[in-house]
Amino acid sequence: TFLQGAGLEAVAVGTPAGRHAAFDGREVRWALTWRGRFIDALTTWEERAMTPARPLGDAVTPLPGWTPFARAEAGAAEVPHRFRGHGAAADGTPTVRYEAGPRQVEDTLRPDAAGGGYRRELRVRGGGPGWVFRGAAPGATPRPGACDAAGEARREEVLP
């Protein structure tokens, strides 16, 4: 949908627990989290010129505007990210898929019962060394990335 704060190619995800998130498919990043009511996307479906939907709940938290992965060397060009779709597990847990340069990424959000936010789990395949995961959690510090012998890496963080 068109969603304020998450762009013109947003994937909005709601949960029965009232914890929601939106992924910006154009910028390839989790863009928002919020609580309470979900969204009313009717205006975005009537015409393309209509105003974007808005999160209807409260505690709307914008997440950092950068893509998740970068090259490790200072001054290196930005890593191109390409949205490749989304899906859900049998229990409704959302996963978005994208490429970060040569890496294939599965980025999953699960409601975090302990803190009331989301637990973000990333599975990265391919690409070798020389990259960092920037993270989107408040105060996130870029963490070096390298794949194991099977060509895979995993990262986790908690989002508000």
Could you give the CA distance from residue 158 to residue 67 in angstroms, rounded to a whole number?
Answer: 17
* Among the listed residues 47, 45, 43, 52, the one whose alpha carbon sits nearest the alpha carbon of residue 24: 52
**What is the sign of the dihedral through the CA atoms of 6, 107, 119 and 77?**
negative
With cut-offs at 50, 70 and 90, classify the pLDDT of residue 110.
confident
Instruction: Give the pLDDT confidence of 137-158 residue by residue, as tens digits.
Output: 878 888 887 788 888 989 999 8
**CA dist 147 to 80, 132, 152, 154, Å?**
19, 11, 5, 8
Could you give the CA distance from residue 50 to residue 66 in angstroms, rounded to a whole number?
Answer: 27
Coil, strand, or helix at residue 1?
coil
Contact by Cβ (8 Å): 2, 52: yes
Q: Flag the least confident range among 13-17, 19-23, 131-135.
A: 13-17
